[in-house]
Amino acid sequence: MEWKHTLKENRLRVTPARMAVLELLEKKDAPMDIQAILAELSASSIPCDQVTVYRMMETFVEKGMVKQVNFEDGKFRYEIEGEHHHHLVCEQCGSIQAIHDPCLAVSETEVKQKYNFQITRHHLEFFGLCQSCANL
């Protein structure tokens, strides 16, 4: 009902596929790619075409409901737009964890003054080994 409301607020129609995808993304705390979303939908017996998922993502990103993120493997992932955060990407197993702490102090003012560049946003990802892979 949370999402039903959000969809209506954005003048979008409430469909089973849309509800399912939004709930899916919300449950997972890591960005999902199109294939992963499709697999989950299929597992839940919710019929939905690949193209529809692409179109949903486009719509949701436009409306600011979902954020498109981009790691190093040539495809996009999507996550619910929320509080700004960063990611820990395991180079071994590919698992992705969100970290919600600042953990960094980006001096946007300094960049602005030094390079005359007006920053609107930034991306920061950490690559390395997750706990399980480090212990192998």
Partner DNA sequence: CTGATTGCAAACATTTTGCATGCTG
Partner DNA sequence: CAGCATGCAAAATGTTTGCAATCAG
54 binds its own copies (CB under 8 A): no
Name the binder of 50 from DNA, its own copies, none, CB < 5-8 A by kind: DNA
Q: Pick the closer one to its own copies by CB: 26 or 125.
A: 125
Residue 32 burial by Cβ neighbours in a 10 Å radius (0-12, 13-18, 19+): buried
**Burial grade of 46 (CB within 10 A; 0-12, 13-18, 19 or more):** middle
Minimum CB distance to DNA smaller for 56 or for 65: 56
Region of 116 on the Ramachandran plot (φ > 0 left; ψ -120 to 50 alpha; else beta): left
Binding mask 75-114 for its own copies (x = CB under 8 A): xx-----------x-xx-----x-x-x-xxxxxx-xx--x
Calpha distance 52→133 (Å, rounded)? 35
**Which residues in this chain contact its own copies in the complex, by CB under 8 A?**
68, 70-72, 74-76, 88, 90-91, 97, 99, 101, 103-108, 110-111, 114-131, 134
